[in-house]
Amino acid sequence: MFETIRKALATQLGIDESKITAESKIVEDLGADSLDVVELLMNLEEEYNISVSEDEAAKISTVGDFVALVESKTK
């Protein structure tokens, strides 16, 4: 799951995958804005047929948070 999300972030943000770790802060370290996060969430919701609430989305700050949330929804 980490690799999938890392690849999606790298593509969306135009950065090298090697710069993305589970500890990377999506906004501070990777330069994403709120629209980037929403777009990525929408893509992952569609790809994995999951639903993420606004409250859940608001708790995402690192790539690891993203991975944990998607993994918890796909079990």
Quote the crossing angle between the two packed helices 2-13 and 34-48, to the nearest 10°.
140
Q: Which of 16, 29, 33, 55 is catalytic?
A: 33
Phi then psi dihedrals of residue 33, to 5 deg: -110, 180
In the residue annotation, 33 being an active-site residue is answered as yes
Show which residues are catalytic: 33
